[in-house]
Structure 1
Amino acid sequence: MQKNEHKVVSTALLAWYDVHARELPWRVSPSDRQAGVVPDPYRVWLSEIMLQQTTVAAVKDYFHRFTSRWPTVQDLAAARDEDVMGEWAGLGYYARARNLLKCARQVTQAHGGIFPDTHDGLLTLPGVGPYTAAAIASIAFDRSETVLDGNVERVMARFHDIHDPLPGSKPRLRDLAEEHTPLARPGDHAQAVMDLGATVCTPKSPACGICPLMPDCQGRLAGTAAELPKKTPKKPKPTRYGYAYVARDAGGGWLMERRPDKGLLGGMLGWPGSDWSEKPSPNPPFEADWHDIGAEVRHTFTHFHLHLRVLTAPMPDIAAPAGLHIVAKHDFRPSDLPTVMRKAYDLWRDH
């Protein structure tokens, strides 16, 4: 495909986007953008971090809560760690929340509250990798950067009829996406391709009849669009097992632990428990007649499935064991717990 044909593709995409752009709480609409409204880099950055490995539908409510409570990057930088982690609970991938705070504080302290406006500058920020840097540079600052998410990969694979499977084909798909990225309105172009993949060129049953790229789509012409992109089969996830111990003191306080900053569920509140492995060793936080409630948590992480037995016992009149602490009854909010720990609480409550 020649360079002028790439321009035709971008022109068709932008014309489609001007009419069909999704309304998203972090987005400046194409009409507002053309009227001179400038995107807020804080809101673009926050949305991109939240959207990593998470859906738009899941993110919207979190985004509204965060921006209502912390409307600027300086407000977020000044927030208490536990408040941010609590608001993040349920979004998963908790290292993102820790890096969110680190990034907000670095932008505030080292950059005067102003985000770097280039791809390389954005890469210096905690939690910002090549994709996120490209997305922020493109959407917030209209830099001609190539944004490659799952939607863009799918559009490129189908439009160019690429049969090499992901993830091995990522470099080629990125090169193709770069060839289509225009110098004019690159931010709108990036969002247009993502919207096309999310609403028209969907994973199943793509709506080719209403696609602005239909006339030149090689996958449609070859009859292969619906089966693309191909993916290398994933290995089955292993299953791990563990124990969670739910205990309350005489005043209704909850015995809990704050997980280490590094590692799974880092920095989050949780129930004391065992290791998570094929053959976990019981590790109750104190000696008691622990009662197995007869139900187990089932939860899936990125790399494994987890089955968690929930045990409960009243806490004797002792100080919290080393490494644990009591969360007072009036300070306890189940919504502050990560999903797997909230599942354990729900089972305990229903029991």
Structure 2
Amino acid sequence: MPPAAFAERVLAWFDVHGRHGLPWQADRDPYRIWVSEIMLQQTQVATVIPYYQRFMTRFPDVASLAAADLDTVLGFWTGLGYYARGRNLHRAAQWVLAHHKGCFPTDPESLRELPGIGRSTAAAIAALSTGAREPILDGNVKRVLCRFLALDLPPGTARDRRLWAAAEALTPTSRVDAYTQAMMDLGATCCTPRRPQCARCPLRPDCRAVALNQVESFPRRAVRRAAPEVAVTLLAIGDPDGRIWLERRPPRGIWGGMWCLPECPPETVPADWCARWFGEVPASCAALPEIRHVLTHRRLRVQPWQLQLSSGWADPGLREGVWYQSGTMPPGGMVKPVLDLLAGPIGGVQG
């Protein structure tokens, strides 16, 4: 199929069946598009929309995002997952303020200098904000092209090279912004990973995977090793006033930079750990039901403990953190297992 015919079919489908009226489509503001593109990485549109709306209300421009402290930013990211994205947004906003005088860039070269932005994301921001002819290759587009070409290559450099060449050849010279959105929509709503809606696809007549009756065989998947299982022991230490002790996680590693219950080494007795750091043996110490939590590259087996201090002067010594009162504003971003614990067996948090 000639590239022009490919783009014509995709655009005609988009005009009727594409996603229009999304919050970040209101204008071509590159800042708004950037925030949406980062949020949409590995996250569905329906999930992103309320987070995006709250985020943009609090951080309407790059200057307000750069000026905020990281805790505030991660607080608005809480529940969205993949928290490195929130940290990178904050760092990138500060970079734009320092190196671009607060004017968010739209050329791919400058965009790729920002933390968390790769080749495809930079191209998407440029195409959607200015209409520049920049091919994209996110997960949805890779799937569409792999099936259309029946590209039987494993994930890796060789396959990506072929796909980038195809994306470059097929991207039209006009309506690039609409075409870019159309390709993402086609993969997200029609050419889905499982049970694709081939009967609705504008590319069906020339799709090689359809001709082979092997649509779901493409793209070829990587051989996945079982994700390692990691044991994590979290301590919910309460004081007589009903407060819970929270600490910020290290900037790198699991839940980097997020506020969390303190982690106790699995081989350490929770009561002994509490006595060491708080100078007091807890009046009670009880194991709560184990929580299973799946991350991208590992599976967590979280064992929470509830410990109750009897004195009102417990001092955590050299540990940095805060006493959190249920129902008040959290100090910053928190991860789902901690939110679930605070909302359930160890007290409530704001909705």
The answer to whether the superposition gives a TM-score over 0.5 is yes
The match for 2:206 among 193, 206, 216 is: 216
Structure 1 letter corresponding to 2:68: A
Q: Distance in 1 between matches of 2:59 and 2:182?
A: 29
Native 8 Å contact 1:241 1:280 kept in 2: no
Native 8 Å contact 1:244 1:344 kept in 2: no
Change (3 A) 1:93 1:134: same
Map Cα deviations across residues 39-62 of structure 1 (whole Å, 9 max, x no partner). 111110001111122222221111
- Does residue 315 of structure 2 align to residue 325 of structure 1? no
Q: Distance in 2 between matches of 1:213 and 1:138?
A: 22
Structure 2 letter corresponding to 1:221: A
Q: What secondary structure sits across from 1:178 in the alignment?
A: helix
Native 8 Å contact 2:324 2:330 kept in 1: no
Aligned residue for 1:295? 289
Aligned residue for 1:13? 10
Native 8 Å contact 1:74 1:104 kept in 2: yes
Change (3 A) 1:336 1:189: same
Q: What secondary structure sits across from 2:292 in the alignment?
A: strand
Unaligned runs of 5+ in 2: 276-280
Change (3 A) 1:226 1:308: closer
Native 8 Å contact 1:158 1:228 kept in 2: yes
Change (3 A) 1:174 1:98: same
What is the deviation of 1:234?
Answer: 0.6
Unaligned runs of 5+ in 1: 29-37
Change (3 A) 1:323 1:294: closer
Aligned residue for 1:27? 25
Structure 2 letter corresponding to 1:19: V
Change (3 A) 1:288 1:20: same
Map Cα deviations across residues 252-279 of structure 1 (whole Å, 9 max, x no partner). 322111112222212111001125xxx6
Native 8 Å contact 2:341 2:347 kept in 1: no
Map Cα deviations across residues 67-125 of structure 1 (whole Å, 9 max, x no partner). 11221112222223211111111112222111111111222232122122211111111
- Does residue 195 of structure 2 align to residue 198 of structure 1? no
Structure 2 letter corresponding to 1:45: W
Paired-residue identity, %: 37
Q: Distance in 1 between matches of 2:282 and 2:136?
A: 55
What is the deviation of 1:281?
Answer: 4.1
Map Cα deviations across residues 283-336 of structure 1 (whole Å, 9 max, x no partner). 634343552334012101111111111111223422223123333426454994
Q: Distance in 2 between matches of 1:328 and 1:223?
A: 57
Native 8 Å contact 1:297 1:344 kept in 2: no
Q: Distance in 2 between matches of 1:265 and 1:135?
A: 28
Structure 1 letter corresponding to 2:217: E
Q: Distance in 2 between matches of 1:285 and 1:187?
A: 57
Task: Using structure 1 for the length normalisation, give the TM-score.
Answer: 0.88
Native 8 Å contact 1:77 1:104 kept in 2: yes
- Does residue 64 of structure 2 align to residue 75 of structure 1? yes
- Does residue 77 of structure 2 align to residue 58 of structure 1? no
Task: Using structure 2 for the length normalisation, give the TM-score.
Answer: 0.88
Q: Distance in 2 between matches of 1:119 and 1:190?
A: 15
Q: Distance in 1 between matches of 2:118 and 2:267?
A: 35
- Does residue 130 of structure 2 align to residue 136 of structure 1? no
Q: What secondary structure sits across from 1:295 in the alignment?
A: coil
What is the deviation of 1:282?
Answer: 4.5
- Does residue 305 of structure 2 align to residue 311 of structure 1? yes
Corresponding pairs, count: 336
What is the deviation of 1:349?
Answer: 3.2
Change (3 A) 1:253 1:350: closer
Q: Distance in 1 between matches of 2:182 and 2:250?
A: 40
What is the deviation of 1:228?
Answer: 1.6
Q: Distance in 2 between matches of 1:343 and 1:298?
A: 12
Q: What secondary structure sits across from 2:24 in the alignment?
A: coil
Aligned residue for 2:337? 340
